[in-house]
Structure 1
Amino acid sequence: MASASESRISICGRFGLKPLTKQNILFYYVPIQGVLSYTALSINVMNPTLVLRIFPKRDITNILLFNTLLGSGLYLYNRPHLSILPTKDRLLYSSFGAVTFSLGSVLIWAIVRSLVPQNVALCSVCGIGSGLAMIKIARSYTEHVDAQVPKKA
């Protein structure tokens, strides 16, 4: 008979997920949740009226931005190129990267929104598409920087 932890691991494994540990929650699941919030933020900036129809009593922009900052900050904090730094510098650099990436994205979406015809579907596609492109570029960049760090023996 399988133990409870073995059955949890096999369930996680079946879905391609990592087991629920403190490390995985902070540096795997929170960044994934950050990507989801970032994608929702792109829709929110590109189509504020659409999001207001879904959440009429609450502006969720700050919630989405906070979750995006948290996810991208933890993703950067755990990267190999920052692992050799003191904790205070890792916090500073990962926070700076998260804020720069997130607010830069919001600025790009605001500019794109002013250029694209006011069509809900088109704005949503432009927001999601540009957001996914920026995530891919950012991930590729951090992997490139990480590759410059000598491997530990």
Structure 2
Amino acid sequence: MSSPKSCPSICGKLGLKPLTSQNLLFYYAPAQGVLSYTALSVNVMNPSLVLRIFPKRDITNILLFNTLVGSGLYLYNRPHLADVSRKEKILYSSFGAVTFSLGSVLIWAIIRSVVPENVALCTAFGVGSGLALIKVGKSYLEVVDNLAPKKS
């Protein structure tokens, strides 16, 4: 049996953070949000594929909810929001999460209308555009964080 001290070293080797409430909220929940966001992209771009995997349940709302929670918590913990009140953090992070997620769904719906009906192509466009949007959004937030006044 491994000692409690071995867990941080194993987690570190795997690139994972230790299980703390801070990490659960602001690392693992956003990571799970990225997974849900990616699955949501496939769901919007290729609904027939998702229906084959989950034939008795429409998982769109579950994926959207998990995406909103993950992206909202990610935004809530960003340095540029460090000095605003809790109410404003909740408002701004909720607004950002909803705008990003529903904007993405709209983009995917538009892409789906112009891409030929091909399972592999639609899935690739969904995942590719989703990952691109995540990368652009993350990069944008890093710029905003760097423009925010630094605490001394």
**Considering the TM-score relative to the shorter chain, is it more than 0.5?**
yes
Task: Write the distance in 1 (CA, Å) between the matches of 2:102 and 2:3.
Answer: 43
**1:83 positional shift:** 1.1
| 2:110 corresponds to | 111
* 1:67 has 2:39 as partner: no
Task: Write the distance in 2 (CA, Å) between the matches of 1:40 and 1:18.
Answer: 23
Identity across aligned pairs (percent)?
A: 74
Task: Write the distance in 2 (CA, Å) between the matches of 1:148 and 1:65.
Answer: 30
Task: Write the distance in 1 (CA, Å) between the matches of 2:24 and 2:60.
Answer: 24
Cα deviation per residue 1:46-73 (whole Å; 9 max; x = unaligned)? 0001000000011000000000000000
Task: Write the distance in 2 (CA, Å) between the matches of 1:70 and 1:136.
Answer: 18
Unaligned runs of 5+ in 2: none
**1:5 positional shift:** 2.8
**1:129 positional shift:** 0.5
| 1:50 corresponds to | 49
Cα deviation per residue 1:83-109 (whole Å; 9 max; x = unaligned)? 110000000000000000000000000
| 1:8 corresponds to | 7
**TM superposition score normalised by structure 1:** 0.97
Size of the aligned set, in residue pairs, is 152
Runs of 4+ in 1 over 4 A off after TM superposition: none
SS in 2 for 1:5: coil
Task: Write the distance in 1 (CA, Å) between the matches of 2:134 and 2:90.
Answer: 20
**TM superposition score normalised by structure 2:** 0.97
Task: Write the distance in 2 (CA, Å) between the matches of 1:149 and 1:116.
Answer: 40
- Where do 1:67-86 residues align within 5 Å? 67-86=66-85
- Where do 1:64-143 residues align within 5 Å? 64-143=63-142
| 1:41 corresponds to | 40
